[in-house]
Amino acid sequence: MTITRRRLLTTATAGLALAALPGWRAHASLSLGDWQIDTLSDGVLTLPPDFLFGPMPKDRLATALEGTGIDPTAPLTPPCNVTLLRGRDRVVLVDVGSGTAFQDGVGLLPDALDALGVAPEDVTDVIFTHAHPDHLWGVLDDFDDPMFPEARHVIGETEYAYWTDPATLDSIGAARQAFAVGATRRLESLADSLEVLPDTAAFVPGVMARSTPGHTPGHLAFEVDGGAAGTALIVGDAIGNDHVAFTAPDMISGADQDRETAVQTRTELLAEAASEGTAIVGYHLRGGGLGRVETAGAAYRFVPEG
Ligand SMILES: [Zn+2]
């Protein structure tokens, strides 16, 4: 639930939210140099299996899913992990969840922030990996006011250009036209609080954007600089699930808009994270989304941490 004009029903709904708190609302944490990294659950999406598996060859898919417990004919229920970065006098959100206009079962970020004692007004920066509904639409509350009224909002220039180009509505395909309408409206609503930066800029001091295209044209990952403690990599949907993306990363995915480019991005990120031991945060990975990448035969496995 989001509601708000400053949480109109806070007292009435808080008890409900806590009572309903189920086990999938995993929360993961990592202390990295100056930064405290927490992942907050926005809830769980429900997607038809073909959204992801549709273009995958059936025999390869069956092999890729062995041992994962995923049924390729059942609805997919990916978790949604928003990243909260606190440090250097900043309170940063990486993506903001779905809000209440997209699906049931998501839009729970405001409750997760409450539970950590973070008020929407405390957030100084909102930075976006990409502009799909489950990452962007929570930026407005149920009154279409900004959910984080004191924050600057930052998006990469390629992603911004794509979603604000009127031609996108015609080229994106019928199944995703609502994504385009919703993204355009929200980005325009942010008006003066929105900054559009180059795809490799520091979006926040110590948080560097990195171009990771394919899932969307301007998808970004973020490198969090922890100094001597190392780097964490927030990968968004560039590594979009913790099963086939790891066990068969070279297999094209229906979730990606440019599927071949997404394969290239995914395989490079996985190889790098595995060889360097980098902590990653994935938006739709289990266990709160924070963990490491290990090699497993010719492919990989996700090892949650935190
Ligand atoms: Zn997503």
Task: List Cβ neighbours of 91 (8 Å cut-off, separation of 6 or more).
Answer: 84, 85, 118, 122, 123, 124, 125
| Residue range 27-44, pLDDT digits in tens | 899 999 999 999 999 999
User: How many angstroms does the Cα of residue 283 sit away from the middle of ligand 1?
Assistant: 6
Task: Say what the pLDDT of residue 227 is.
Answer: 96
User: How many angstroms does the Cα of residue 130 sit away from the middle of ligand 1?
Assistant: 9
User: How many angstroms does the Cα of residue 114 sit away from the middle of ligand 1?
Assistant: 23
User: How many angstroms does the Cα of residue 87 sit away from the middle of ligand 1?
Assistant: 25
Instruction: Pick the more confident residue, 60 or 23.
Output: 60
| Separation between Cα atoms, residue 106 and residue 113, nearest integer Å | 14
User: How many angstroms does the Cα of residue 11 sit away from the middle of ligand 1?
Assistant: 31
Residue 108, pLDDT above cutoff 90: yes
- Could you write out the three-class secondary structure of the chain? CCCCCCCCCHHHHHHHHHHCCCCCCCCCEEEECCEEEEEEEEEECCECHHHHHCCCCHHHHHHHHCCCCCCCCCCECCEEEEEEEEECCEEEEECCCCCCCCCCCECCHHHHHHHCCCCHHHCCEEECCCCCHHHHHHHECCCCCECCCCCEEEEEHHHHHHHHCCCHHHHCCHHHHHHHHHHHHHHHHHHHHEEEECCCCEEECCEEEEECCCCCCCCEEEEEECHHHCEEEEEECCCCCCCHHHHCCCCCCCCCCCHHHHHHHHHHHHHHHHHHCCEEEECCCCCCCEEEEEEECCEEEEEECC
User: How many angstroms does the Cα of residue 41 sit away from the middle of ligand 1?
Assistant: 13
| Separation between Cα atoms, residue 247 and residue 103, nearest integer Å | 29
User: How many angstroms does the Cα of residue 228 sit away from the middle of ligand 1?
Assistant: 31
Closest C-alpha to 187, from 212, 165, 171: 165
Q: What average pLDDT does the segment 218-237 reach?
A: 97
Q: What average pLDDT does the segment 84-110 reach?
A: 96
Scored b (16 or more CB within 10 A) or e, 272-300 reads: ebbeeebbbbbbbbbbbbbbbbeeeeebb
Residue located via tokens 């993306």 = 245
Q: What is the mean pLDDT of the chain?
A: 92
Task: Say what the pLDDT of residue 306 is.
Answer: 80
| Separation between Cα atoms, residue 114 and residue 111, nearest integer Å | 5
| Residue range 124-173, pLDDT digits in tens | 999 999 999 999 999 999 999 999 999 999 999 999 999 999 999 999 99
User: How many angstroms does the Cα of residue 258 sit away from the middle of ligand 1?
Assistant: 15
Q: What average pLDDT does the segment 181-205 reach?
A: 96
User: How many angstroms does the Cα of residue 131 sit away from the middle of ligand 1?
Assistant: 9
Domains of the chain: 26-304 (3.60.15.10)
User: How many angstroms does the Cα of residue 32 sit away from the middle of ligand 1?
Assistant: 25
User: How many angstroms does the Cα of residue 19 sit away from the middle of ligand 1?
Assistant: 26
**pLDDT more than 70, % of the chain:** 92
Task: Say what the pLDDT of residue 21 is.
Answer: 47
Task: Say what the pLDDT of residue 4 is.
Answer: 64
Band of residue 12 on the pLDDT scale cut at 50, 70, 90: very low
| Residue range 247-275, pLDDT digits in tens | 999 999 999 999 999 999 999 999 999 99
Task: Say what the pLDDT of residue 129 is.
Answer: 98
